[in-house]
Amino acid sequence: DGGITQSPKYLFRKEGQNVTLSCEQNLNHDAMYWYRQDPGQGLRLIYYSQIVNDFQKGDIAEGYSVSREKKESFPLTVTSAQKNPTAFYLCASSTGRSLVEKLFFGSGTQLSVL
């Protein structure tokens, strides 16, 4: 079954700690994205990558970092510089070649601060 796998489903961060959220896709998609979802706010783009070894900042990149060493994988690190990390994080992918891009989303990771 093709799709996007995010892990873990729930994650807790201690103050001053960096945590990494995993995102793996087997859809053979070129483009991958990280969104943050907060209650009462629309999805906000953190980072995106259109090809391997290249990524761009989205609207709210501060306090986050990513890597794209493999086509299938796009991990997100929430650093200690992100002062309000509690949110639902969604990874998505798309072909990157369509006029109207269809985003395929993973099931999300809920990050909370201890």
Partner 1 sequence: QKEVEQDPGPLSVPEGAIVSLNCTYSNSAFQYFMWYRQYSRKGPELLMYTYSSGNKEDGRFTAQVDKSSKYISLFIRDSQPSDSATYLCAMSARTGANNLFFGTGTRLTVIP
Give the range of 13-21, 60-68, 72-80, 93-101 binding partner 1 by CB under 8 A. Answer: 93-101
What Å distances lie between residue 11 and 51, 70, 79, 90, 99, CA to CA? 28, 24, 14, 13, 36
Q: Which of 11, 27, 61, 103 binds partner 1 (CB under 8 A)?
A: 103
- The region of 12-20, 60-68, 71-79, 101-109 touching partner 1 under the rule CB under 8 A is 101-109
14-22, 36-44, 65-73, 77-85 -> range binding partner 1 (CB under 8 A): 36-44
- In the window 55-84, what residues touch partner 1 (CB under 8 A)? 56, 58
Residues that bind partner 1 (CB under 8 A): 4, 31, 33, 40-45, 48, 50, 56, 58, 88, 90, 92, 94, 98-103, 105-108, 110
